[in-house]
Amino acid sequence: MGRFTSFVIFAEMRTGSNFLEANINQLPGVHSYGEAFNPYLIGGEGNDGLFGFSLAARDADPASFLRSMRAHTKGLAGFRFFSDHDARVFDLVVDDPACAKIILTRNQLESYISWKIATESDQWWLADTKHLQTVRPRFDLAEFQARLDATQAFQRKLVHRLQISGQTAFYIDYDDVLDLEVLNGLATFLGVEARLPKLNFDFKKQNPEAVADKVLNPKEMQAGLARVDWFSIHHTPNFEPRRQAAVPQYVASEGAPLLFMPLKSGPEARLRKWLQREVVRLI
């Protein structure tokens, strides 16, 4: 038996989780049951129950529902979990080392615009692009900032819980889900022998245009985003070690506006001499 007996996909709306799940479910011995703990549905639209549980029964006892899901699945059972899903379930899975953690992220601006389009068009997924409804929503900075803050708060909480429990996860970006080798790497991480021969494209990308072309007020959006921390948008969450820069080791020129960060095995002595000459030249 492998080290994992189940899995969870941590994601948000409009991050490519449908596509990722559709491909994971092509692996024999792996089954993801959609948004199993969505407050408004159970697994997927049209389902009025799952594993003998109604929506109300699941909400009354999510731990029993989770155990039933795993017991009724031959192989690895999993589901997609978003930050607005049942918080009790987060606690049930996050500290369990036998539950594999998959963390799917996407550029937060693209995710927000995609969510706005889906909300206004009522098209949350698409199997055939000929049915695509084209809408251009208005960018709302306050709304975007609120969603960004909530997402980052959840991701910080998730990372912290993994750190203090000594766990790691399989991190995958929206753009990576189209990489067959990456998805087969995920299969390796899960501990299954099967590999995907090709990708499943049942779910189509709905809005491939540039972000500025998707909204009614691109100039207003650009001006508003100038006040937002872009590094947090593009690199959310930050899975690099949280360490301060080793500023005391930097070498500053006394008279020139130059700063040098020494790298081990680099030409440090030569650069120090060059900085001294640069001071003389500028003077």
DSSP summary character for residue 86: -
Give the model confidence (pLDDT) of 126-159 as tens digits: 555 555 667 889 999 999 999 999 999 999 999 9
Task: Write down all domains in the chain, each with its CATH number in brackets.
Answer: 6-234 (3.40.50.300), 247-282 (no CATH)
Mean pLDDT of the chain: 85
Give the model confidence (pLDDT) of 156-200 as tens digits: 999 999 999 999 999 999 989 999 999 999 999 999 999 999 998
Tokens of 68: 């039933």
In Å, how far are 86, 144, 159, 191 from 63, measured between CA atoms? 11, 33, 23, 24
The answer to whether residues 6 and 65 touch, using CB atoms and an 8 Å cutoff, is: no
Distance CA 46, CA 71 (A): 23
Distance CA 277, CA 283 (A): 10
